[in-house]
Amino acid sequence: MGATTQLHVVTGKGGTGKTTVAAALAIALADEGQRVLLCEVEGRQGIAQLFDVPPLPYEERRIASGLGGGQVHALAIDPEAALLEYLDMYYHLGRAGKLLDRFGVVDFATTIAPGVRDVLLTGKAYEAARRKEKGRFVYDAVVMDAPPTGRITRFLNVNAEVAGLARVGPVRKQADAIMDMLHSDSSRVHLVTVLEEMPVQETLDGVAELRGAGLPVGHVLVNLVRPALLSEASQQLLATDGVEQAVADALEPSGVDGAHAPALVEEGHAHVARQRLQDAQHELLDDGDVPVHDLPWLHEGVDLGALFELAQSLRDGKVV
């Protein structure tokens, strides 16, 4: 446990399992005994669905315990609530906050005023990461289930976002403080991908964009990696003439009807094709000058047990 709270930002293309990986990362940290805040910012209630609990309010609550005695708290960051909390914290507004709400200012500031929404969302994570009680940080780590790869750099680059708009004032100051944290050694942006063409391309573009903006890239986390089930020798055999008949004969002692052989061979070819595609995409990532860690594909789907399995894989891979 370092002297400062670590911030792990998890992004990824839609459908790659960004929320699942963020949750697994939080559990991995809790397994090491850390106190972790897992937060989401897109109003999807993905964490609640994953952990099978009722929708999360704007309040930090414990949702899991790590094997090493750590704990995972979860929070769904809501920009409107964050704005009112922020105003109250810095201006002790109380009733004036309600007035802002009544005049539609809160709605305006959180939905339409560009950049302000993102400052509020990252700002809340910043506040949690800097919060102290009795002289020590409340959380050892904050894990953020962040917007998708295509929007991540803009989302994190709050400083640039508000630069053209808020040139002075507290929002600007807040943005500067957030940028300092994001650019520091205690922050990491991880990119989740699957081994398909478009997500991999987006990931590589995302890495370049993040680096261009001076944001620290952590790991590329490859999700749903399918194991190769056919050995090299079997693959060669599969490509020979008369393989259907040979497999039909070989099936005899297994009790499976030899008539299934052509279909099984067809499935074998499809498997090889998929593995080749996977390998080719993996090579592209390996050439990307970023540490890459593979997460196994779990054919039972994702439940709480699966999250702990993925967490173990993240610890084994020294991602945390």
Could you say which residues in the range 217-236 bind other proteins, by CB under 8 A?
A: 229-231, 233-234
Selected range binding other proteins among 183-191, 210-218, 277-285, 310-318, rule: CB under 8 A: 277-285
Give residue for tokens 């520091």: 184
Of the pair 225, 264, the CB lying nearest other proteins is at 264
What are the C-alpha distances in Å from 121 to residues 1, 17, 91? 25, 21, 19
Task: Out of 270, 304, 305, 316, point to the residue binding other proteins (CB under 8 A).
Answer: 270
How many of the chain's residues bind other proteins (CB under 8 A)?
Answer: 84
> Quick check: 274 binds other proteins (CB under 8 A)?
yes
> Quick check: 255 binds other proteins (CB under 8 A)?
yes
Closest CB 223 distance from other proteins, rounded Å: 11
> Quick check: 113 binds other proteins (CB under 8 A)?
yes
Could you say which residues in the range 45-104 bind other proteins, by CB under 8 A?
A: 46, 49, 87, 96, 99-100, 102-104
Could you say which residues in the range 137-176 bind other proteins, by CB under 8 A?
A: 147-148, 150, 154, 161, 164-172
Of the pair 42, 294, the CB lying nearest other proteins is at 42
Could you say which residues in the range 25-44 bind other proteins, by CB under 8 A?
A: 42-44
Give residue for tokens 């039909």: 248
Number of Cβ within a 10 Å radius of residue 76: 22
Closest CB 299 distance from other proteins, rounded Å: 5
Residues in CB range of 3: below 8 A, 6 or more apart: none
Closest CB 198 distance from other proteins, rounded Å: 4
Task: Measure the CA–CA gap between 270 and 29, rounded to whole angstroms.
Answer: 38
Of the pair 180, 266, the CB lying nearest other proteins is at 266
Task: Measure the CA–CA gap between 40 and 144, rounded to whole angstroms.
Answer: 6
Task: Measure the CA–CA gap between 169 and 188, rounded to whole angstroms.
Answer: 28
Selected range binding other proteins among 62-70, 122-130, 211-219, 240-248, rule: CB under 8 A: 240-248
Closest CB 319 distance from other proteins, rounded Å: 22
Selected range binding other proteins among 30-38, 176-184, 190-198, 209-217, rule: CB under 8 A: 190-198
Residues in CB range of 233: below 8 A, 6 or more apart: none
DSSP H helical ranges for the chain: 18-31, 46-51, 79-91, 95-102, 105-107, 116-130, 149-156, 158-163, 170-183, 197-212, 232-238, 243-251, 261-286, 304-316
Of the pair 83, 320, the CB lying nearest other proteins is at 83
DSSP assignment string, 249-278? HHHGGGTS-GGGHHHHHHHHHHHHHHHHHH
Longest dimension (CA), the chain: 82
DSSP class of residue 52 equals T
Of the pair 67, 306, the CB lying nearest other proteins is at 306
